[in-house]
Amino acid sequence: MTAFKFWKSILLAVLVMAEISPARATGALPIEAYTSPEKLEAGSFRISPSGKYISAIAPLDDRSVLLIYDQVSNKPTAKLQLNAGQYVYRYWWVSDSRVVITLAVKEGRLDTPSPTGEMWAIDADGQNGKQIFGETDDFAAAYMLESEADANNNILVALQPWSYTGEVPFVQMARLNINTGRYKLDGGKIPVRYFRIVLTDSNKTARIIYGSNANNYGQLYYRALDSKSWTLLNDEEKTKRNIYPLSFTRDGKSIYASVSDLKHPDYLIRYNLETRAESVIYKPENADIGSLLLTADGNDAYAVIDFDSDPRGGLAIFKRDAPEAQLSKDLSALFPDSLAIANSFSRDGRYATVVVTSDRNPGKLYVYDRDQKKIRMTGSTRPDLAAEHTFRVEPIEFKARDGLTIRGWVTLPSGTASKHPMVVMPHGGPYGVVDRWGFDPDAQLLASRGYAVLQINYRGSGGYGQGFIDAGHHEWGGKMQLDITDGTLAAISAFPIDRNRICIFGASYGAYAALMAVATEPTLFKCAAGYSGIYDLSLEYNQSSRSNMSAVRNYFKDIFVNDKEWLASRSPTNLAGKIKAPILLIHGGKDTNTPPKQAQLMRKSLIASGNAPEWVYEETEGHGFFNPAKRLNAYRKLVEFLDKHIGTQAK
C-alpha cells in the first residue's frame, strides 16, 4: 500500500487557508472545540524559495496532511494525504517547485512521533509524487541533512544501515536525487552514533556534525576543507559544557552555537572554526534562548527568540541593520501582546510567512509582502475559537523550599467569582519539557468550565539551563513533587484561588505526579486524574533496562536510583493506602509508551485499599486517544469528575 494519495487540487474549504471571521458565540463552546486537532500546525507554515507557493501541515485525528497552494491566487495546488497513524515529520522546499517530506508514526495523540526513515517528494502542482527512499537491501532509513538541492537535484542525506544487534548503527552520508530516488555514498561515515545535526557550507560540503555518545553527552565535530577526517571540537562529558551548532555565519569561517553548562541558562555564541575562539552574542540570565532566526538567503542570522527579558517571549536582535530585523520590529508593533515571528522567507526576501500567537490566540498565519508593504491573513490554527472563548495566562514565580527559583503559568477563567477552583496540570516528559506562555488547549478547556489552571516548570523541566534539568535527576516523587506542592501554595497566595477546591490532572509523567500528589498531600488536593500514566517505577525501570539502545539504558540510570526500595517508595501503586481522594484513570490498551499494565496495577491497588477509581479504558487506543468519539468521552469524564469534586456539583 502506498503511503500517499495525491491530488492536483482540493476544495479550498478543506485547506481552511482563507481568512475566517468566526461568529461570536454566546456560551461556552463544546468540549471538542478544544480537544479536536488544530486545523493547521502554526510552526509548519512556510513559503517556497521563489515565493510562488505557501504550505502547511494539517493534523487530522490519526494522521496529518501537507497542503500547498498558490501564494498570490490563494488557489490550492496539492495535497499529500497520509495513512492512519502516519505523520509528516518534517518537510522542506528543496527547490522552487518541489517538496521533500520525511514520515513519522505514533500510536496515540500524546505519543512523540517516531521517524520511519522514509522520504517522499511531490511537485507544488501535485505532479510527480514519488517515494524517493524506503527500505533497501543496504540501508533501512534516510534522514535529511540539508534543505536545498544542488544543481544536479541531489540533497545530502544520512543513510542508516540495517542493524542486527539492536543498537543504533553509525550512518553513512550520501547524495539522494529528489526526482529519481537514486543515491550515491558521498561524505563518509558520521563519527557519532546518535547524531542530531549536520551543517553544510556554501559548497554543500558537510563541515560540522553534532550528536551524543552512549552516555548521552554531546559531541561536536569539525572537518576542515582540506581534510577527510573529523576533529572532535568539544566533548561535553569532559568539558562539562555542551556546544550545539545552529548555523554557519555569512563568511563561512564561524558558526552560531548554543552553549549549555551547569551554571547558566543556554546562551548564544559565535565560534571561530579556525582559531577556536568564542565570542558571546547573547547571554540571558534566567531562561534559555530559543530558536535562531536566519536571514532571507539563509546564509546568516539576525536574532534569537528570547524568553528572558519577557517570559512570554520576544526577540533578542543582534544584527539591527538587517532588513529582517526591521521587519521583526514592525511586526512587534503591529501585533502587541503577541509573539510574531517571520519563520520563512522567499529567496529574494520579498515575501515572508508570519506566525502570530499568544495566550488567547492559538495561531494566525500571515504573508508579508515587502515591496507592497502589506500583510494579509491566510489562515488560522483554530478558526472556531473567538476571543471570548479564550482566557488570559499569567506568569508565576516562586522559591521552592530549598531556595530554587521555579516558574510557571496560571490560566484564569472569566467570571465574577471571588475565588476560583483550580486544577494543577503538571506537564509530561518530564526532562527537558517546558510549559511556555501561549495557548494550551487543555488549560483553555478547563478555564472555559470555570477552573483556574496551574502549570509548573518543576526542576527537571527544560528552558532554564542544563543545571535545572539535572536538578531533577533521582527526584521523581522527591523534590520534583515538592515543587508542585510549593507552586500550588504559591498560586493560592498570588491569585484568587479557593484552597479548598483544588484537583490535579496530568498525562504521562504528569499522571504520575498527580497520583503522587494525593498520596503525599492528602489535605491539599481533593481529587486526581491520570491520563496514560506511569505509576509503578520498578516496572518502568525494568522495561527500560531491557532496551537494545545503550543510550536509553544509561538515561534511566541517570534519572532513577537502581534500588528496589527507592523505586518502590516512589511508586503510587505502593502508596494507594495513603490515597483517600477520588481518582480518575484514563488509559489505552495499545499504549506502548506507558503500557496498560501501569494503569491496571494502579487500579488494582486502589480497589484493594477501598478506593476504587473511576475508569476509562479504551482497548484500541494508544498513548492518548486518536478516535474522536473516545477522546471526547475521556474529556467529558474528566470535566464531569472535576465538576463533581471541586466544581459546580461539589458539596
Q: Is residue 366 part of a domain?
A: no
Residue 518 grid coordinates = 494525593
Query: 77 with 126: CB under 8 angstroms?
Result: yes
Return the pLDDT at 340.
97
pLDDT in tens, 241-284: 999 999 999 999 999 999 999 999 999 999 999 999 999 999 99
Q: Is residue 549 part of a domain?
A: no
Residues 6+ apart with CB under 8 A from 574: 536, 568, 605
Q: Is residue 412 part of a domain?
A: yes
pLDDT in tens, 52-90: 999 999 999 989 999 999 999 888 999 998 888 899 999
- Residue by residue, DSSP assigns 514-531 as HHHHHHH-TTT-SEEEEE
Q: Is residue 370 part of a domain?
A: no
Higher pLDDT: 26 or 587? It is: 587
What number is the average pLDDT over the span 523-548? Answer: 93
Residues 6+ apart with CB under 8 A from 475: 459, 460, 481
User: Does position 239 have pLDDT exceeding 50, yes or no?
Assistant: yes
Q: Is residue 465 part of a domain?
A: yes
pLDDT in tens, 100-159: 999 999 888 888 889 999 999 999 999 999 999 998 889 999 999 999 999 999 999 999
Give the position of cell 560540522. 208
What number is the average pLDDT over the span 558-581? Answer: 96
Closest alpha carbon to 413 in 329, 498, 511: 498
CATH of the domain at 461: 3.40.50.1820
Q: Is residue 61 part of a domain?
A: no
What number is the average pLDDT over the span 464-492? Answer: 97
Total tally of structural domains belonging to the chain: 1
Q: pTM, whole model, 2 decimals?
A: 0.93
Q: Using CA atoms, how far apart are residues 199 and 288, in angstroms rounded to an integer?
A: 22
Return the pLDDT at 651.
64
User: Does position 351 have pLDDT exceeding 70, yes or no?
Assistant: yes
Q: Is residue 276 part of a domain?
A: no
Alpha carbon distances (Å) from 570 to 390, 474, 549:
37, 10, 25
What number is the average pLDDT over the span 393-416? Answer: 95
Return the pLDDT at 164.
66
Q: Is residue 209 part of a domain?
A: no
Domain extent, residue 420, equals: 391-536+571-645
- Tell me, what amino acid is at 487? G
Q: What is the mean pLDDT of the chain?
A: 92
Residue 418: pLDDT band with limits 50, 70, 90 = confident
pLDDT in tens, 16-56: 333 322 233 347 899 999 999 999 999 999 999 999 999 99
Query: 133 with 118: CB under 8 angstroms?
Result: yes
